[in-house]
Amino acid sequence: MIESSTRVLDPVRGFISSVVSPVYLLAESPYLLSGAIGDVVATQDQLLVRNQQLERQILELSQISQQYVALKSENDRLRGLLGSQGRLPYDVLIAELVGIIPDTNTFQIIIDKGSNAGVKPGLAVLDAQGLFGQVIEVGRFTSRVLLVNDPDHAVPVRVNRNGVRGIAGGTGEVDALVLENVSVTADIVEGDLLETSGLGGRFPPGYPVGTVVSVVVEATSAYAQVLLRPTAALDRSRHVLVVFGPNQQQDPAAQQEQTPPREQLSDQQQYQSQEPTP
Amino acid sequence: MNPGNGGWVIGLSLLAALVLGVFHLPEWAPAWLGWLRPNWLLLVLFFWAIELPHRVGLIAVWILGLLVDVLYAEPLGLNGFVLASVTYVAWRFFERLRMYSVLQQALLVFVLALSAEFLRVFAIGLASERAWGWSVLTSPLVTMCLWPFLFLLLLRIRTGIRVE
């Protein structure tokens, strides 16, 4: 019980988790192996089809990113007019899922990057579609991530359409989040997209969290019951991104030369720039 | 008779139990299968503790429990306590337990697994909002049903390799 209220034992846990992380790898090996075999024995036709799909996807994405550059510069100009700070792109680190905590009542996963790659407790984790969770424990080579749908998890969000703020809590169901303490008069309708608001400083702002699937207003309650479907594929994604958010940004010297998108920095560079935090 | 014979078999079986414990089902498997996850480590440890009580030390079991705590993301010391209690029960009564039929042993395994499960739920509930469901009951039931098979398997391994 010392553990839940203080962080005294964190180094102990971190050390033990470095020792036991191979167990996760062993348990995961059937999946890794079947994936590897699948890669080796894929027929040429399959590879060709896959290649075509990927090329098409690259084309679409590069089209979008062209627009993104224009929109970004416009946004920066407008923000400059308003006198507010421009947004920096964040550093990300690609990690792979190597284990799942075997308890039906909690949603936590193990990823294959730890303190040796600069991961720290509290960092946000994304997958290709949206917010995935946050790092809660770091070992040398692995870290543990609490998913957004865990009952113990909550994240400050805002409605993408009009900026109404709220807090999205986990429910323990894989496909549902709940927006907590929403007043019945709040302007939230079915289909709204909720993104991280960045309030509290733990999660970087602007990443999608979930879409509203139902808004139930009961006459007897002062609060509306708003259910969300998480945008991230919480039970399927194997590759996730660890985001170094606003508080974990690199040192100022590195920030000034931030012309290349941070995603293109190699792990090596990220690791170096993470180290000299004062 | 060499008293240190085959310690690696014990270690390997415990490691296998650990790996089975964190093994997760493929994505297409139905979610309710997760409720039927047996307590592999308890089974394996119980077997070695009644067969070879002199080979299983309480301190070692406690340390093993610490590893399990981190593996399962549970409060530190919880599994150490659970596993050490199981070992103690087995130690205390191992002569009598060996005389029992496999079914009677299975019943005891059920009681042990059930109390372990309740203790877990209680300790976790103190620290977090994690809900608990029927797995408190289903998991010990599956553990009980597996005992006869695991017992025979490990007994065969033990006599085959002469673990003393």
Identify the residue whose tokens are 């059937």. A30
| Amino acid letter for position A10 | D
Per CB-CB distance under 8 Å, the chain A contacts of B129 are 151-152
For each of chain A's 278 residues, which pLDDT tens digit applies? 455 556 667 777 778 877 777 888 888 788 778 878 877 777 788 888 989 999 999 998 988 888 888 888 888 888 777 766 556 667 888 888 888 887 777 888 889 888 888 888 889 998 888 899 999 888 888 888 999 998 889 999 999 888 888 999 988 888 889 988 888 888 888 888 999 988 888 888 888 899 999 998 888 888 888 999 999 888 888 888 898 866 555 444 434 433 344 444 444 444 444 444 33
pLDDT at A262: 41
Please, which pLDDT band fits residue B51 given cuts at 50, 70 and 90? confident
Average pLDDT estimate for B2-21: 79
Instruction: With respect to residue B29, please indicate whether it lies within any of the assigned structural domains.
Output: no
Split into its structural domains, chain B has a count of: 1
Nearest by CB to residue A27, choosing from B19, B31, B34, is B19
Q: Alpha helix (H) ranges present in chain B?
A: 7-22, 40-51, 58-72, 78-99, 102-127, 135-161
Q: Say if A143 is an interface residue toward chain B (CB within 8 Å).
A: no
pLDDT digits (tens, 9 = 90+) for B90-145: 888 888 888 888 888 889 889 998 988 888 888 877 776 666 777 788 888 888 88
Q: What is the pLDDT of residue A24?
A: 81
pLDDT tens-digit readout, A185-222: 888 888 889 999 888 888 888 888 999 999 988 888 88
A9, A12, A102: residue with CB nearest B22: A102
CB pair distance less than 8 Å for B130 and A31: no
Q: In sequence order, what are the residues at sequence separation of 6 or more whose Cβ sits closer than 8 angstroms to the Cβ of residue B95?
A: none
Q: Do B71 and A174 touch (CB under 8 A)?
A: no
Tell me the two tokens of residue B163: 């673990």
CB-CB neighbors (< 8 A) of A104 in chain B: 31, 34-35, 37, 133, 135
Q: Is B67 within 8 Å of A101 when comparing Cβ atoms? A: no
Instruction: Name the residue among A234, A251, A93 with its Cα closest to residue A174.
Output: A234
Domains of chain A: residue spans and CATH: 91-247 (2.40.10.340)
Return all residues near B68 (Cβ < 8 A) that are at least 6 apart: B18, B21, B41, B74, B79, B80, B83
Q: What is the pLDDT of residue A86?
A: 55
Predicted confidence at residue B131, as pLDDT, reads 63
ipTM at complex level: 0.73
- Domain presence at residue B74: yes
Asked, for residue B120, whether it belongs to a domain, the answer is: yes
User: Is B65 among the domain residues?
Assistant: yes
Please check whether residue B69 lies inside any domain of the structure.
Answer: yes
Contact A132, A145 (CB under 8 A): yes
For residue B87, the enclosing domain spans 35-161
Lookup result for tokens 């991961």: A119
* Residue in B84, B72, B77, B73 with CA at minimum distance from that of residue B19: B72
Name every residue in B having a CB less than 8 A away from some CB of A: 15, 18-24, 26-27, 31, 34-35, 37, 66-67, 69-73, 75-76, 126-133, 135
